[in-house]
Structure 1
């Protein structure tokens, strides 16, 4: 997973530096230390993170294991992903990640997938960290007979004959026929091999042909003719019969006792093991070792670890330290080429920098350096030159050769039909013609016919299509295809589906048993007449006073307790076992007041009901009474409790999955096929439909009406209108012509066009949006910490209340305080009190508290993405945006259009006085002005260049170009002769004043008139180059009009109506800035003008320090205002970072570059109001969810504990909550919270989020 870590600055720490200060202090990492160290983000996908009370267990487990290295921890109960940011300890980071994974497993969690941003972790080792608790057999934590029962019921039928393709290959390959061993009888096939085949058949993968090979040529494929004596070997095994982590540990422990075994990794995900041994023969010996401890095993592959195949990188299995780091910085203050050149030259002087690329257009720089942790020093070097610099991202990478345009592409190719030991060599040799432009990263084997290649696409000569065609041409039996490893969303979806199947099977079991339980326990016992013969038969005492009905209910409840409620029991046992394990760092006292989860409460409730009923049976068998009252037994309660609890969990699982589908929905915008346009040998155009992964950089693709571009690209033929609402949130169609950019995820609504692909695979705008939404989902809101604190102590409190409830009722009953009418004829006070304790255990629900915030934030993030708003800051940014008191708009490009300003008026004085001059002098002036401004990317500079081109065709050159920050530019203009050369300065009035440029009253009056018309002013002055002491004289005055955005007035009015103060920040002169403010409706007193780029962050800090928070019209003098800054995302980067909420508007395809909390894909200001309204709506819903969860527990617990039992209804019934109905109430409480969050998607006032069409 690619992340975009924001590293706090040492010199001027931003608000982000303290976001996780509390968690950093908790794990022993001070803020300063975390700042200086390079950070790594690692994500663990847990298969059984279903209850919010698990969050504190996760934090404690990771804190105890790796507290010194961890900066912050963010568990997410919606996605079941735990994101950990920790220090990069170099090569030791793999050990840190492994330790964290093992600590999570020890705490009873199933680690199904591990991803990290560290380049120092080998992908194979990372995959092997995936949880040993994860089960591909769809059942976890089943150490009882349920697991065996499930495997019996789902046992597949095995195929034992060779496939037709393999037979064809053997018939055509003489060497394979000679080397092929005798085919074993059908009954002699290894159990594990058939198990592996069965798993593949169930999954529907295309590896069956490869697996069939192993059934006949296992002895051939797993050996090598090359002698690697003295080297380590890596053996891969398939293992059958593993059901839980104890199986994994027993296998690992047994293998580690062997002296020749160097490393063991057993993976429950794919029922396999990878073992490094020092002797090749030991690999076969280990088969017997594993079989001796009771598991089915088959040796799949043995390869030397340091094997060097043709074109294979040496030591690819070793963990490597990154050789270089690449930092992306946002730079403010650059206005011309001299700025970028100066920065490039200065940075190249630094020893640790190997490459510098400064982009004047995007106001950013990409710097490669060879020493870790130098990104802040690089930023300080830029600041020392007078520019603003903010580190946006730092990633580790291996230095690669530079390529212009296309970027290197790495692809994994799966080849079906590789049946013999000679096939891998033929596969490698089939690509020899593409060398040296293609590199084989990992070579295929018979057992694992996947090969990874790296190349730089060069259409049409070197493409993935030609590569696959070359492989097919090498052998008719080869069928290559691109292999896609599962993404984190796919893995998560598989884990969720597995969990849902777990619950569904148990719901089926409970439901089937609940039907006869209802008939016997409810209908016959309470509703059927006493004269009914069947009721008489069931209710008549049979053995020791116990009637037949209770015996039947005991038989029915037993499988439910052991095979349906087992998920709660096993998880609760693991929690307690981990808490009290030897070596635990949890203080003894804390173990009594901070333990358990919802699983423990459910397990205790059902266990007490079942065990107490069993005790009553035993007691009756000993005492042999004539009659035992039915109220002494809770067997029917066990069944109904379990049914309602599992139903609640199942509905909650389905609903919760719906709240986090934003990434999945965005991913569905990608088409699966594309129409490739090529020319044949005669020059005729040919259209062919290919899969998307076959498209390369530079390909020509036809985008038909109603279709989406397969990747980002540029139109090369045709003109059409595109719907970009899926990315920008704007419903209007955008007209596109030749040369315009197209983005993946948009829809063609008009005629077909031809597009040249310019976006590399995985780097399109849609991919960036998906990545940002994914990153935002890992960042939790501060409000969630309240839920964490409450749920951490919830279980101990409920346990104490349940014990006190039972003790109180028992003592009061035995002491004679309670009336005997409360009891049945043969009932006792102990059993009477027990029903209240069970109800307390079952009715309490911390799930609602834990799900209140994350589910609403996930739904809000999806709604934001639908409106073209990307929440990079996640839940924290949403929470702050809901409390915005003051919004600051940048003027140019935000309140104004900015992209195409126009010169509306021009006064020229090219002579020595401000009077009319010759046409020749005027053209020379415009030529010089054009030459100077062509070196700047500022919108006003572009307008000046465009105007000068319309006034003259004369050319001039400039030397000694200098940029004066916040004021303008200075240069020497050289004309056709020496006399035509002069010094020139271009800029604002401050620059003219600094150089003592004289100005007539009429000119000054004209400038004031332009300013009052909301026009910006640019002035030009010159002086002879031969006279250093000569004064500067005004040569030209230009007025620039930047149109106001059409929606700006309505947006400012809407914000003011909501009680939000609106300010404007501008580098323009005060008169012009106030004129623009008056046009859009901003109070002139709320204008900060003539602000240099380096001062914008200071002005934001000034507003934060001086302005007070508002709530409607009342001012809170004790709390400062929450300030939002709306800017262009790059030029305003320091100010966006300084603000409480940074909103980057109109960032286009560079959505991942900005350091803002929110990125608006479009440039429509209406999205700002949508964002603020959505944030307020989301957090109103969070508060509603919290209130409901708290009120539910506060009201339900007293009722369950029997506080209202002395009171009776009109029918004479005591007010109480039966344990069965308590279970139903508990299930509905968490479901209602999830449904409440999902209701945000409903466009109904007061129920969901309704986007008001402001300014449309």
Structure 2
């Protein structure tokens, strides 16, 4: 056992994750971003309003405390979540095959020495990262190298428990995730708003009865009105005014306190002595919705105080005309109440919009049925399949699972981790993977197949070997991809940033101008004296009502929430349909405007997963020049060639290599030793082999790949081989060639590479079935006005044969290209003029928007170069990391959902943005009094606050309506074609 309490170097660039509460719109995120930008050593700042989170890269861990303090200083709740080196610690743990856990050992202070002594038996396999230091610390953080079933976290827990008498309680502590913290912040925020709202409603009821009913609506002779209008304590102040003042004060300083506190902290941060903000920013880019609300409520309250003071100073012996309540105390109450109602509904709606990740997380199972290994002895009993009936099943927490454990998945349950089925091959079952891929049809699974967390076993119980835990499961990768995608913003949001950054100063200036204009009109005599409805304060107080209305009716939140809410709901919907929006808002915007969709051939338009070797041609031994080998019959090349091919193919996950590996899986490669085997994307495989036979040892250099690559190495097919290759291509089959360069190790040859050329030794025809749905998908894309192209490393004849069968025009086929050439062709397509389509994003004015669909390493450059890279979920890790969208389902129908959903999401963003803009353009002039000269009607601050609340809430609700999206459906004809083969396979089993 080792102890290691040292911290990582403070100067290592690290990614910091924070939870931030209290944000309402993009103005809040801009305030936080600007604040963090002032800290040296903090970069790549990203703030997610709806996800209640912020992330950044810091040069030292000491900056974390400064970040948290700074965010709190400007009025927002902030909690530290995690920090790790930019090179993920989790990735290094996976390479080292280690696991880090935190244990809560209740009662540890009573026997700390016993526990430490017990852990020493594990030696170097276990390291204590945070040792027990005081009696109040019941936590142990351990790093160990598991080896199931011999050495697991369960072993550690049992040893700790046995080290004390009586046994103590031990539990694995799982820190809350970002989504769980955000969920808690949403609930806390809603409860805080609810308490203030309840107080405001309760106080507003007597204010309405006194200030509206008795002092304005009932007849003057009413006893109740006379009671409340009776002068009390000082000057002209009535009993009703004093009551309204006492009732409005708690609303001002409690119910509206959050608005005041945050607005003051925002202003303080900008004007503090150490602020780096320029004067232009301080005067023309400040504040948020909190400031507008605070100003509106504060002006109404303090102007009423001023009016109350004026009335109190008047001579009580003089009778002044009264026209009901002259103050704005009732407006303070109703304005705050309506604002809180709107803010509560908005918070609830945003919580609902952001729970897509939470719903995905709920798919995790909390328990597992662990199959305890049993020793096979003479007394053990076995069933007909050889399974030990003495195996014991134990129900444990999923936190106690380790890679390599065997767990049982009963019918109707979900795997507790990702893994591989180890039950006998006869135990065919079906899993519902709709939660991950969006595919409603159950998928057949048998021995050796992968199954995932969140899927449901639909038929019979199977045993699974655990292969992914603690952040390595497919479900957690989906959640992380969705979360990361939500932090990437759409280009249209940059317009919103510009608008909202100047919105608050603009509205503040408009409110001041409004007050000055109406005050000038009143004092100059342009307005008749009968317009003056208040007996106290004169024209200044009368004009103030317009300014207050302007303050509270303005709504930057509606504009700021137009895009984030729609994108949040859209990314959740995409995940529900098996599409990961890794590129976030920018990817959705680009996908909504696709002009050209380019397809790779193998594994994209074709099945790729189970291609078959339909023909093989191996040269006879006499055709291979063997330097110094003597008798050519010494080596059976009909067996050695497959052995070489098998070793080359085993080093790649490319579908063609997989088919060769399956085709030659029965061959024994013990007499053929391979070294330096590597994959060259878009070309093939190469390696060096040593073949030993009797007294001869041959060193063979081998290359396996397409004809173009072999030609580059001087391996040119003869006439007979060329004829065979042409026939294969006309049949739409892929041709894979093997070329060898051989020398005898017993003969010195230091210049072998210049003396011996590569010679073609074998040809393989591989039939890769076209996806049944591909022709329908291509037809639908054409119907949407999207051009389709194919880029393939295969030869032109085969590529055009496949293109013709799916409906891609032959002139749109680019064949025989290398990976970097694929990227060049994508860039060429992007230069083509964009015809008959309006362009919303001016960044790429006039050129076509190109999407690339691929799945292999050789597609990664093209996926990166394309405006919209779309990777098939079954593809390579490099392809997935290069794409903006990942299709978890292998069914190309997801492409139609992607294009359709992207258009709907972007249309909803534009609708939300348009509605919020139109609302402000209409509401602000009305609040400022443009209709007053014509009808002597003006908008009360109370109704202005209600309109503002409904504006932002309507934007969120508009985005939530996207949840009704169902997606385009396959026609009955294509549906039957897509699933016919699956049904045939199921019936045959």
TM-score between both structures, scaled by the size of structure 1: 0.68
TM-superposed deviation, 1:699:
2.2
Q: Which runs of 5+ in 1 are unaligned?
A: 1-36, 120-393, 915-919, 1209-1213, 1244-1248
2:900–2:967 CA contact under 8 A, matched in 1: no
1:685 has 2:685 as partner: no
**763, 777, 782: which one aligns with 1:1056:** 782
What per-residue deviation string (whole Å, max 9, x for no partner) do you get for residues 655-678 of structure 1?
A: 111111122111111111122222
What per-residue deviation string (whole Å, max 9, x for no partner) do you get for residues 1125-1172 of structure 1?
A: 111153422221222221110337959962322222222211122122
| C-alpha distance in 1 between matches for 2:701 and 2:510 | 86
Identify if the C-alpha distance between structure 1 residues 750 and 783 changes in structure 2 by more than 3 Å, giving closer, same or farther.
same
Identify if the C-alpha distance between structure 1 residues 415 and 117 changes in structure 2 by more than 3 Å, giving closer, same or farther.
closer
1:528 has 2:218 as partner: yes
TM-superposed deviation, 1:903:
2.9
Q: 1:815 aligns to what? A: 524
Deviates more, 1:465-474 or 1:1013-1022: 1013-1022
1:455 has 2:144 as partner: yes
2:854–2:879 CA contact under 8 A, matched in 1: no
1:1094 has 2:820 as partner: yes
TM-superposed deviation, 1:39:
5.4
Q: Secondary structure at the match of 1:657?
A: helix
1:906–1:1036 CA contact under 8 A, matched in 2: yes
Q: 2:643 aligns to what? A: 931
Q: Secondary structure at the match of 2:338?
A: helix
| C-alpha distance in 1 between matches for 2:534 and 2:294 | 30
Alignment of 1:148-187 (within 5 A): none
Q: 1:742 aligns to what? A: 451
Alignment of 1:841-1240 (within 5 A): 841-906=551-616, 910=620, 924-934=636-646, 935-936=648-649, 937=652, 938-944=654-660, 946-947=662-663, 957=672, 966=683, 987-990=705-708, 995=714, 997=716, 999-1000=718-719, 1004-1019=722-737, 1037-1106=763-832, 1108=834, 1111=837, 1119-1128=846-855, 1130-1147=857-874, 1154-1208=881-935, 1214-1240=936-962
TM-superposed deviation, 1:1037:
4.6
Identify if the C-alpha distance between structure 1 residues 599 and 1037 changes in structure 2 by more than 3 Å, giving closer, same or farther.
closer
Identify if the C-alpha distance between structure 1 residues 1021 and 102 changes in structure 2 by more than 3 Å, giving closer, same or farther.
closer
Q: 1:478 aligns to what? A: 168
| C-alpha distance in 2 between matches for 1:959 and 1:584 | 65
| C-alpha distance in 2 between matches for 1:1037 and 1:1151 | 29
1:694 has 2:400 as partner: yes
2:735–2:766 CA contact under 8 A, matched in 1: yes
Q: 2:319 aligns to what? A: 626
Q: Secondary structure at the match of 1:1206?
A: helix
2:596–2:851 CA contact under 8 A, matched in 1: yes
What per-residue deviation string (whole Å, max 9, x for no partner) do you get for residues 408-428 of structure 1?
A: 22222212234xx54222332
Q: Secondary structure at the match of 1:1120?
A: coil
Identify if the C-alpha distance between structure 1 residues 821 and 477 changes in structure 2 by more than 3 Å, giving closer, same or farther.
same
What per-residue deviation string (whole Å, max 9, x for no partner) do you get for residues 788-831 of structure 1?
A: 22111111111110011011011011111122332237363222
1:810–1:830 CA contact under 8 A, matched in 2: yes
What per-residue deviation string (whole Å, max 9, x for no partner) do you get for residues 481-524 of structure 1?
A: 22222222222222222222211111111010111112222233
1:550–1:630 CA contact under 8 A, matched in 2: no
Q: Secondary structure at the match of 1:727?
A: helix
| C-alpha distance in 2 between matches for 1:955 and 1:978 | 17
Alignment of 1:460-539 (within 5 A): 460-473=149-162, 474-476=164-166, 478-539=168-229
TM-superposed deviation, 1:464:
2.6
Q: Secondary structure at the match of 2:172?
A: strand
Alignment of 1:430-445 (within 5 A): 430-444=118-132, 445=134
What per-residue deviation string (whole Å, max 9, x for no partner) do you get for residues 540-569 of structure 1?
A: 445533333222222211111111111111
| C-alpha distance in 2 between matches for 1:53 and 1:452 | 40
2:579–2:894 CA contact under 8 A, matched in 1: yes
Q: Which runs of 5+ in 2 are unaligned?
A: 1-10, 381-389, 625-631, 745-751, 976-989
TM-superposed deviation, 1:999:
3.4
| C-alpha distance in 2 between matches for 1:1108 and 1:581 | 51
Identify if the C-alpha distance between structure 1 residues 980 and 415 changes in structure 2 by more than 3 Å, giving closer, same or farther.
closer
**777, 780, 792: which one aligns with 2:486:** 777
**576, 591, 608: which one aligns with 2:282:** 591
Identify if the C-alpha distance between structure 1 residues 839 and 470 changes in structure 2 by more than 3 Å, giving closer, same or farther.
same
Q: 2:5 aligns to what? A: none
**83, 88, 113: which one aligns with 1:395:** 88
| C-alpha distance in 2 between matches for 1:873 and 1:789 | 22
What per-residue deviation string (whole Å, max 9, x for no partner) do you get for residues 312-347 of structure 1?
A: xxxxxxxxxxxxxxxxxxxxxxxxxxxxxxxxxxxx
**28, 47, 64: which one aligns with 1:75:** 47
Identify if the C-alpha distance between structure 1 residues 689 and 579 changes in structure 2 by more than 3 Å, giving closer, same or farther.
same
1:885–1:1109 CA contact under 8 A, matched in 2: no
Q: 1:115 aligns to what? A: 82
| C-alpha distance in 1 between matches for 2:29 and 2:759 | 71
| C-alpha distance in 2 between matches for 1:1076 and 1:769 | 32
**530, 548, 551: which one aligns with 1:838:** 548
Q: 1:765 aligns to what? A: 474
Identify if the C-alpha distance between structure 1 residues 570 and 955 changes in structure 2 by more than 3 Å, giving closer, same or farther.
closer
Q: 2:337 aligns to what? A: 643
Identify if the C-alpha distance between structure 1 residues 38 and 1253 changes in structure 2 by more than 3 Å, giving closer, same or farther.
farther
1:63 has 2:31 as partner: no
1:74–1:780 CA contact under 8 A, matched in 2: no
Identify if the C-alpha distance between structure 1 residues 962 and 460 changes in structure 2 by more than 3 Å, giving closer, same or farther.
closer
Q: Secondary structure at the match of 2:19?
A: strand
Identify if the C-alpha distance between structure 1 residues 621 and 993 changes in structure 2 by more than 3 Å, giving closer, same or farther.
closer
Identify if the C-alpha distance between structure 1 residues 1066 and 679 changes in structure 2 by more than 3 Å, giving closer, same or farther.
closer
Deviates more, 1:794-803 or 1:1088-1097: 1088-1097
2:880–2:886 CA contact under 8 A, matched in 1: no
1:927–1:955 CA contact under 8 A, matched in 2: no
Aligned residue pairs total 917
Deviates more, 1:813-822 or 1:517-526: 517-526
TM-score between both structures, scaled by the size of structure 2: 0.86
| C-alpha distance in 2 between matches for 1:715 and 1:890 | 31
Deviates more, 1:921-930 or 1:872-881: 921-930
| C-alpha distance in 1 between matches for 2:841 and 2:257 | 56
Identify if the C-alpha distance between structure 1 residues 411 and 1149 changes in structure 2 by more than 3 Å, giving closer, same or farther.
farther
| C-alpha distance in 2 between matches for 1:118 and 1:971 | 38
**1241, 1253, 1256: which one aligns with 2:963:** 1241
2:597–2:853 CA contact under 8 A, matched in 1: yes
Identify if the C-alpha distance between structure 1 residues 1205 and 1059 changes in structure 2 by more than 3 Å, giving closer, same or farther.
same
TM-superposed deviation, 1:1074:
0.8
Q: Secondary structure at the match of 2:279?
A: coil
| C-alpha distance in 1 between matches for 2:735 and 2:23 | 61
Q: 2:248 aligns to what? A: 557
TM-superposed deviation, 1:695:
2.0
TM-superposed deviation, 1:971:
7.0
Tell me how large the CA RMSD over aligned residues is. 3.4
Q: Secondary structure at the match of 2:396?
A: strand
- Identify the structure with bigger relative contact order (alpha carbons < 8 Å, sequence gap 6+): 2
Structure with the higher fraction of residues in helix conformation: 2
Alignment of 1:89-108 (within 5 A): 93-108=60-75
Q: 1:369 aligns to what? A: none
